[in-house]
Structure 1
Amino acid sequence: MMIRLPVESLARFRTRADAFSTNIQFYQWCLQENVLKSTATLVYGRHIPAREFGRVSAVAHCDGLVLLPTDTNVYVFNPATKDAIALPESQRNMIWHHRCLPVGLGLDTSTGKYKVARSFYRSCGSDPMDMEVVVMGMEVFTINGDEHGSWRETLVDPPYPILSSQAATHKGCLFYSIDKNNLQRPPHGLVRFSLADETFGVTPLITNIYPEVDHEDFLISELDGELCSTFLSSHLQRVLVFTTRDAVDHPKWSFRYMINVTECYPLVPLGSGRILLRGGNCLLGYNLEASKIKVGEILDMDEIRYLAPSQNTLGRAWENVFVV
């Protein structure tokens, strides 16, 4: 699935100064043996009025639903049914942050309903801009829930500050990276939030690797039904991928891949010993057995063109594309 967002930059969270009208479009991309010859079909488009938001964060997804966090609203899309909702505003966040608030989407297996969980910053002392001590809360919105369509604050706060990055969903829980700044002894793990009982825990990571990795060199996601931790090792000039099936009780991280491509992360296994990687604005077909990118399977998404209704030869450029 590819999402076209005509805003200035997804990766760098830049804000566009002039007014613009946003069209969010979902394309289903049918991967063929040769990535460069694959085609995409428009399945759903949504128009959003100008100036409704200025910046966006990484897109999350769960069971076909797509979550789009922005600096003003949070949107949930169902491209299959062409349904979309803009979640209501909340006034709980007391500290301005240069990025969108940490947010995640997942399934509450106890009720069968989907929940959006968003962290927010509480005021710290007399100066609301004092970031030396960060205290965060958590609020939850249940889609088609019984809370009269409003955000509800959890009874307990997250045990540690959370980074403004995409949460990973796995087996009824959301997993967040811990903001280690200003923490004397931060745990080597992830903040875990149960969508069923709305309690927190900590899932340990690989201790002999994680302490030496910076925030920007670590990514948590779900890969092939398992919780996946991806480490970008600048020392080894390699990408190390670990996965675990049980991320709650006693996670046993297994080494899955070592990829000889710097600054990339895995998206999905393709079968036949291949895996699809994302590196910057490129999609890469990587041959695991040969430990190299497969010839003809490098796709620069900046060069993708789409045909408008009145066009049949030359295409238009997509300003930004995000893959889910």
Structure 2
Amino acid sequence: MDLIAVRNNNNNLDSNNSEERTPLRTYKRRVRRVMPDELVWEILLRLPPKTLARFKSVCRAWLAIISSPSFICMHLRQSASRNECEPSFLIAAHTFCDMRSMPKTWNPEVPFYHWQEAGKGNASLVSTMDLPGDSGFAHCPLHCDGLVLLPTETKLYVFNPGTGDVLNLPDGQKNCGYAQAPGLGLDLGTNTYKVAQFFYRSVYYYKRTYNAGMEVFTIGGHGSCWRTVEDPPYPVIMPQEPAYFKGSLSWHIERELLQTPLQGFLRFDLEEEKFDFISHPVLPSDEQPLQFIELGGKLCLVQYLPEEIVFWMSPSGDNHQWHRVYVIDNLPER
């Protein structure tokens, strides 16, 4: 409580004259105790996504902090550093099926489970996503920084298991009569997430002719619609889930549609929205399937041979230099 002395306008009053003195009045002042922004920031960084989603409604200041790109990036980095010490898995439990033979009792719910190595126990249910009853998975779910892309027969969904939020992407400009290969990744220039979808307008394998396109959807972007970008310079293998690595998506090239086969893959930069060609290492057998993986922060190609599994690594992923780093001998069949 603050005490404030209020005098009258007569400046000639003698301070010793008690009869001329104005009585003291007291006022209550409300003191609003506010935590420093730095302390609020540090506290919020340590909270799980579901709690952060609720705390957005506390005040405008907290909403601005939690929604800021810099806070989101730092929260992701902290989560990644914790996962390095305590590896964990997000498991989407779902049965793949053909829509034409789908049973009437097919469950459209997709449960997500979290399993952590340090726990040494059973996986725990994180969240459940409801898919429309007439939709089955067309591709494997893809993930980037905790977001999950779920491609179905008719729709594309982006799901955040941490908050339970679901984004139902609108229909794009693709021709639904032909195959699509969608991917999810982070635009490192703007710190926004994008869904990029390769699709065929037409394809004739026996003639080795095709007409392909690419469309991009920016999550949280203005307009919330698909944008058609430049056509891909090469065809890609279908069906295929592209690999995300350091701001780019990569697809294996379909050599059967090229007059002069190329040994490499097609990369799409999410920031520049441009294509480039990355050559494969010289492989002893290019008929065996290849798979992209990230290992220790490096882009790797895994080649599955009849007698061994070979790992090829690129130091930066874009310099066309590959090194054979690991070989795993296949176990003999019993």
> Structure 2 length as normaliser, TM-score?
0.66
The match for 1:254 is: 323
Kept in 1, the 8 Å contact 2:217–2:225? The answer is: yes
The match for 1:141 is: 217
Aligned mate of 1:103, from 174, 177, 182: 182
The match for 1:188 is: 263
The match for 1:229 is: 301
The match for 1:208 is: 283
**Residue 28 of structure 1 aligns to which amino acid in structure 2?**
H
**Residue 252 of structure 1 aligns to which amino acid in structure 2?**
Q
CA shift, 1:130, in A, is 8.0
The match for 1:83 is: 165
Shift in alpha-carbon separation, 1:94–1:7, aligned structure 2, 3 A = closer
Aligned mate of 2:154, from 58, 72, 93: 72
Deviation sequence 1:196-255 (CA, Å, 0-9, x none) = 01000011111233x6234xx211232332111110012xx111111223122x132222
Structure 2: give runs of 5+ residues left out of the alignment.
1-89
**Residue 41 of structure 1 aligns to which amino acid in structure 2?**
S
Kept in 1, the 8 Å contact 2:92–2:112? The answer is: yes
Mapping of residues 1-324 of structure 1, within 5 Å: 1-8=90-97, 16-19=101-104, 20-31=106-117, 38-51=121-134, 53-93=135-175, 95-97=177-179, 101-123=180-202, 132-146=208-222, 148-154=223-229, 156-163=230-237, 164-209=239-284, 212-214=286-288, 217-234=289-306, 237-248=307-318, 250-261=319-330
SS class of match (2:257): coil
Kept in 2, the 8 Å contact 1:95–1:129? The answer is: no
**Residue 247 of structure 1 aligns to which amino acid in structure 2?**
G
The number of aligned residues is: 241
SS class of match (1:181): helix
CA shift, 1:104, in A, is 0.9
Distance in 2, matches of 1:49 and 1:102, equals 21
**Residue 157 of structure 2 aligns to which amino acid in structure 1?**
Y
Kept in 2, the 8 Å contact 1:6–1:24? The answer is: no
The match for 2:32 is: none
Shift >6 Å, 4+ stretches: 128-131
Shift in alpha-carbon separation, 1:244–1:15, aligned structure 2, 3 A = farther
- Which of 1 and 2 has greater Rg? 2
Q: How many percent of aligned residue pairs carry the same amino acid?
A: 34
> Structure 1 length as normaliser, TM-score?
0.68
Kept in 2, the 8 Å contact 1:15–1:55? The answer is: no
Distance in 2, matches of 1:186 and 1:54, equals 34
- CA root-mean-square deviation: 2.4
Shift in alpha-carbon separation, 1:253–1:80, aligned structure 2, 3 A = same
Distance in 1, matches of 2:221 and 2:226, equals 10
CA shift, 1:26, in A, is 0.9
Structure 1: give runs of 5+ residues left out of the alignment.
263-291, 293-324
